[in-house]
Amino acid sequence: MSEEVKKQRPAPDPNSAKYKLNMIAKKAYEDVAEAKARGELVGWCSSNFPVEIPETLGLYVCYPENQAAAIAARGGGERLCSIAEGQGYSNDICAYARVSLAYAGGAEAPEQPMPLPDYVLCCNNICNCMIKWYENLARELNIPMIMIDIPFNPDYEVGDAEVAYIRSQFLDAIKQLEEITGKKWDWDRYEEVREISGRTSRAWLEATATARYTPSPFNGFDLLNHMAVMVTARGKKEAAEAMETLLKEYEENHEKGVSTYRGEEKYRIMFEGIACWPWLRVTAHGLRDRGINMVTTIYADAFGFIYKDFDDMCRAYAKVPNAINLEYARDKRTKLCKDNHVEGLLVHTNRSCKLWSGFMYEMSRQIGEECNIPVVSFDGDQADPRNFSEAQYDTRVQGLTEIMQSNKEAL
Amino acid sequence: MEVLKKFEEAAKDPRAILDRYLREGKDVVLVAPVYTPEEIVHSFGMVPMGAWGADTQLNGSKKYFPAFICSIVQSIVELGMNGAYDGVKALIVPSLCDSLKVLGENWKYAVPDIPFIPMTYPQNRKPEYALEYTKAGYRRVISDLEKISGKGFDENALKVSIEVYNEHNRLMRETAEELRRHPEITAEERSAIYKSATFLRKEEHSALLKELLQELQAATPGREKIRIVTTGILADSPSLLQILDENGLQIVADDIAAESRQYKTDCVLEGDALTSLARKFSARDNCSVLYDVKKSRVEAIVDLAKKTDAGGVLMILTKFCDPEEFDYPLIRKACEKAGLPIVEIEVDRQMENYEQASTIIESFREMMEL
């Protein structure tokens, strides 16, 4: 038997963006755990809840979606989903919700523990499923729920009535949180948070836009990891600095002709949908083995929260990916495909996400036609490993590769 | 009772009703689940006609929806694509759940000849500021209806329509109470009363209800059956209803979205009609597609069962319906705590095999007989 020789991984460079971003994500959990330990009230927060509110108030919150993704990526998705199913939840329900409700019900999750909440912050601009999930958390844990309703917008533009409705709710949410936590809202602090959030967002948009270079200076799977910081910590100075470092690194990569994508970039695709966390390695390898780089996703655009004032912020939160109509969603993606010289679209039909997948067939057809690129989809799930078939994924990606190859040959 | 046949005929053949209205020169507008401002459509002299899908195979709609979207919305698109709705002027869809959001987006491309009119409601519907947002949604509907009909909105006409709907609500509630005293009315017959209400003009349906009420009040109640409460989105599957009848179960009350939930809330006319209508929406409660941090619906179901002396609760769960699937474990827990037997039957609009449902209902009956 030959002795396995393990490669010694070099110590991470503490000045690298990757290190800084990982530390922000890690520290977020630690900060909340410490706050809870010293008796402060802590919250759970949905991913597109306006982060400016907890950040300005100085609240300690953590993100169940982020936790569920981490648990799923580390192999605990099926276990927690099954526990929730044992509590009576259908296996058709969003797997993030199942993981979260199981955890809230007392299930262990050594993959990514976090303190139980004293209140929950819910915003349904990504789906109405979120309302149901958070209602159940609030009821089962007997804690308050702050709800900001940002309805799905069937029109291309956000109307004034919607902005007014959202503004009133933001102010209501602030008042409720002041009462619950005893902390006070400070408009000067809000301005600081707004500035920082804008700085972080600009760096993110510029960093992800370096995918316009051929080859791309980064592997698109990086974005799936870094977006957690964009969602949860956009208003923190450390996040702005880390994103600026990321931008600098990507520009330097381009100048040096290197990339975080290992191997030759033969094909460039856009990946549509939430990552298939339980099968992240498999899905990444299926692309890399064929020389495919996922150069962009809607996340590249989605987290660029740049706004000039409070009303503009309300409008920005009404423009997140799952709150917009087919035409607006299509145009955003078409721009990303064109800007980044995308040659194919790979769509994750995510069983957990009815809203994201519900009009994806039609939208991806339109994107394919407008950009003149092939579109292929595969069935999967963001956290439940049982809803993915490796063989189907492999066949579909192979099919996409062959079309992209023949398109190249035809040039 | 003769009048029951009229409800059944209407429930079974909505296309015949649509054709009749079209022959009479009426404009018909489809209204999708769950709550649509039908009064506004009615005030334009148009006929609002319920579109809750149908038990049909899905073919063309599969091009638009992945399999895991609820069969109600998928079958609405299927019907639109295969011409079942030809002749109607528009489809109004309220975006109260994620499947309804995608229904509108897909409809635009799958059925381009029938305009899609969105109705966006606030989920945070209790504060005063929400009223303005609801009214903005109504104004959007009004503006589209004005374009379609060529008529202008008339505040007084809306007041009249509100009264027509309030009267119908009252009669539906009275009928529900009366039906409770009549075990001889089968589950299928009961369902037809509710289903026909979504297709027929409210004036017509109210007239039939009055006739029915007179006959019921004069009739001697039949032999007692096992009393149950149903809950869910939809409960119109003939096969399932037959199983209930075969097992001697009487639905004494329901918390079904397509049935009693529609008629619980009246519009109190105070001030202008549009604000009054917005207040009606704010006042709605105890429904899985409406935000409620207390989830009062859970206790309301237990209370309803107790109030109506029901022996158990039957959850008719529409497959892939998130709002109901999230509520079910809490409803089950509350029923168990109250000592009420509860069973769940998962249904969809393509279901053909009811053997499992039959077995579940049989054991449900046995649980209640103990």
pLDDT tens-digit map of B199-236: 999 999 999 999 999 999 999 999 999 999 999 999 99
Phi, psi of B221 (to 5 degrees): -60, 145
Closest CA to B340 of B248, B231, B178, B185: B231
Residue type, A314: C
Q: Using the beta-carbon criterion (under 8 Å), do B328 and A88 form an inter-chain contact?
A: yes
B101, A132: Cβ pair inside 8 Å? no
Query: Shortest Cα distance from A145 to chain B (angstroms)?
Result: 7
Set of chain A residues whose Cβ sits within 8 Å of the Cβ of B293? 135, 138-139, 144-145, 147
Average pLDDT value for residue range A306-332: 95
Taking the C-alpha atoms of residue A252 and residue A260, their distance in angstroms, rounded to an integer, is 12
pLDDT < 70 positions in chain B: none
Question: What does the alpha-carbon distance between residue A230 and residue A232 come to, in Å, rounded to a whole number?
Answer: 6
| CB proximity A89 to B under 8 Å | yes
Residues of B in contact with A180 (CB under 8 A): none
Closest CA to B253 of B231, B223, B284: B231
Q: Are A362 and A370 a contacting pair, CB within 8 Å?
A: no
Q: What is the DSSP letter of B13?
A: -
| Residue B362 confidence (pLDDT) | 96
Lookup: tokens for A197: 């959030």
pLDDT in tens, A69-127: 999 999 999 999 999 999 999 999 999 999 999 999 999 999 999 999 999 999 999 99
- The SS3 call for residue B355 is helix
Give every CB contact of residue B273 below 8 A, 6+ residues apart in sequence: B155, B156, B158, B159, B162
CA trace torsion B187, B193, B194, B196 (10° rounding): 130
Chain A residue with CA closest to B105: the answer is A326
CATH T-level fold of A17-185 = Rossmann fold (3.40.50)
Q: Which of B105, B121, B319 lies at the smallest CB-CB distance from A325?
A: B105
Cα–Cα distance, A47 to A188 (Å, whole number)? 25
Of B254, B279, B235, B257, residue with least CA distance to B96 = B257
Identify the residue whose tokens are 């069935």: A379
- From B66, B124, B326, residue closest to A132, measured CB to CB: B326
Nearest by CB: B120 against A87, A147, A151: A151
Out of A92, A152, A164, name the one closest to residue B132 (CB): A164
| Disruptive mutation site among A49, A100, A131 for chain B (greatest number of B CBs within 10 Å) | A131
Contact B98 A354 (CB under 8 A): yes
Q: Chain B contact for A354, CB < 8 A?
A: yes
Residue B83 lies in a domain: yes
The answer, for A124 touching chain B at a CB cutoff of 8 Å, is: yes
Task: Name which of B287, B317, B319, B314 is nearest B73 in CA terms.
Answer: B319
pLDDT digits (tens, 9 = 90+) for A141-151: 999 999 999 99
Give the residue from B77, B95, B98 with the most A CB atoms within 10 Å of its CB, the best one to mutate.
B98
Residue pLDDT, tens place only, A34-81: 999 999 999 999 999 999 999 999 999 999 999 999 999 999 999 999
Q: In chain A, which residues have their Cβ closer than 8 Å to the Cβ of B65?
A: 358, 361
Tell me if B66 is assigned to some domain. yes
pLDDT tens across B112-157, in order? 999 999 999 999 999 999 999 999 999 999 999 999 999 999 999 9
The reply to whether A149 touches chain B by the CB within 8 Å rule is: yes
Q: Best residue in B58, B63, B64, B68 to probe A by mutation, most A CBs within 10 Å?
A: B68
Max Cα-Cα span within chain B: 62
Would an 8 Å CB–CB cutoff place A85 in contact with chain B? no
**Are B125 and B134 within 8 A, CB to CB?**
yes
- pLDDT given at position A137: 98
Confidence of residue A6 (pLDDT cuts 50, 70, 90): low
pLDDT band at A348 (very low <50, low <70, confident <90, very high): very high
Provide the pLDDT confidence category of residue A8 given band limits of 50, 70 and 90.
low
Give the β-pairing of B28-31 and B47-50. parallel
pLDDT score for A303:
82
Is residue A86 less than 8 Å (CB to CB) from chain B?
no
pLDDT at A2 over 80: no
Q: CA A332 → CA A112, A339, B97, distances in Å?
A: 33, 11, 24
Percent of chain A with pLDDT over 90: 91
Question: DSSP letter string over A260-292?
Answer: SS-S---EEEEEESS--GGGHHHHHHHHHTTTE
CB contact under 8 Å between B98 and A159, yes or no, is no
DSSP state of A4: P
Give the closest-approach CA distance of B337 to chain A in angstroms.
15
Chain A residue whose CA is closest to B288: A132
Cα separation, A178 vs A182, in Å, equals: 5
pLDDT tens-digit series, residues A375-396? 999 999 999 999 999 999 999 9
Longest alpha-carbon distance in chain A: 72
* CATH code of the domain containing B30: 3.40.50.11890
Quote the CA–CA distance of A173 and A148 in Å, as a whole number. 7
The alpha carbon of residue B318 is apart from the nearest alpha carbon of chain A, in Å, by 11
B368 phi and psi, to 5 degrees? -80, -25
3-state secondary structure of A192: helix
In contact, A314 and A52? CB cutoff 8 Å: no
Q: Note the pLDDT of residue B353.
A: 86
Q: Is residue B77 part of a domain?
A: yes
- Rounded (5°) CA angle B138-B140-B141: 65
Among candidate residues A398, A365, A404, the one with its CA nearest the CA of residue A269: A404
Beta bridge partners of B317: B346
- Token pair belonging to A341: 């010289």
Question: Which residues from chain B sit within 8 angstroms of residue A164, using beta carbons?
Answer: 129, 132-133
Element at B312 (helix H, strand E): strand B312-318
- A-B Cβ pairs (cutoff 8 Å, strict): 147
Task: Judge: A168–B97 Cβ closer than 8 Å, yes or no.
Answer: no
pLDDT of residue A11: 78
Measured distance CA(B328)–CA(A136) in Å, rounded: 11
Can you give the pLDDT at residue A4? 46
Q: What is the mean pLDDT of residues A277-282?
A: 96
Residue A11 phi/psi, 5-degree rounding, is: -60, 140
In this structure, the strands spanning B116-119 and B249-256 are unpaired
- Residue A335 reports pLDDT greater than 90: yes
As given in the structure block, the two tokens for residue A215 are: 């080859």
Q: Are A68 and A100 in contact (CB under 8 A)?
A: yes
Number of other CB atoms surrounding residue B180 within 10 Å: 18
Q: Is A131 on the interface with B (CB under 8 A)?
A: yes
Predicted pLDDT of residue A3: 45
Confidence of residue A1 (pLDDT cuts 50, 70, 90): very low
| Short-list A171, A181, A121, A168, CA closest to A147 | A121
Decide the pairing of beta strands B116-119 and B47-50.
unpaired
Minimal Cα distance from A146: which residue of B?
Answer: B293
CB contact under 8 A, B121 and A151: yes
Alpha-carbon separation of residue A112 from A65, A70, A75 (angstroms): 11, 6, 11
For chain B, how many structural domains are there in total? 1
Beta bridge mates, A377:
A347
Which site among B69, B108, B123 would you substitute to test the A interface, given the most A Cβ atoms closer than 10 Å to its Cβ? B123
Pick A165's closest partner by Cβ from B69, B104, B129: B129
CA dihedral B273, B275, B276, B282 (to 10 degrees): 150
CA distance B191 to chain A (A): 27
Across A392-408, average pLDDT:
97
What is the mean predicted confidence (pLDDT) over A284-302? Answer: 94
| A154 alpha carbon, distance to own chain's centre | 23
Question: Do the chains contact at B104 and A154, CB–CB below 8 Å?
Answer: yes
Task: Name the β-bridge partners of B230.
Answer: B254, B314
Q: Is the confidence at residue A299, as pLDDT, over 90?
A: no
Q: Please list the residues that pair with A378 across neighbouring strands.
A: A348
Name every chain A residue with its beta carbon within 8 A of the beta carbon of B132. Answer: 161, 164-165
DSSP state of A9: P
Copy the structure tokens of residue A136. 């159940």
End-to-end CA distance of chain A: 51
Q: Within 10 Å of residue B207's Cβ, how many Cβ atoms?
A: 15
Minimal C-alpha gap between B132 and chain A (Å): 7
Cβ–Cβ below 8 Å for A169 and B124 = yes
Taking the Cβ of residue A145 and every Cβ of chain B, the question of whether any pair is shorter than 8 Å is answered with yes
The model's confidence at residue A7, banded by pLDDT at 50, 70 and 90, is low
Mean pLDDT of A199-211: 96
Q: What ipTM score was computed for the predicted complex, to two decimals?
A: 0.97
SS3 state of residue B287 = coil
Residue whose tokens read 């009064």 = B39
Q: Give the torsion sign (CA, A356, A358, A363, A365).
A: positive
To the nearest whole Å, the CA of A72 is away from the closest chain B CA by 21
The verdict on a CB contact (< 8 Å) between B133 and A136 is no
- Strand stretches in A37-189, DSSP E: 42-45, 60-62, 119-123, 145-148
| Rounded-to-integer distance, Cα B348 and Cα A142, Å | 34
* Identity of the residue in A349, A358, A360 whose CB atom sits nearest the CB atom of B99: A358
> Containing domain of residue B50, as a range?
24-155
For residue A349, which residues of chain B lie inside 8 Å, CB to CB? 66
Q: Does A133 touch chain B (CB under 8 A)?
A: yes
CA distance A294 to chain B (A): 24
From the CA of B178, how many Å to the nearest CA of chain A?
34
Q: Identify the pLDDT of residue A20.
A: 95
Q: Would residue B201 count as lying in a domain?
A: no
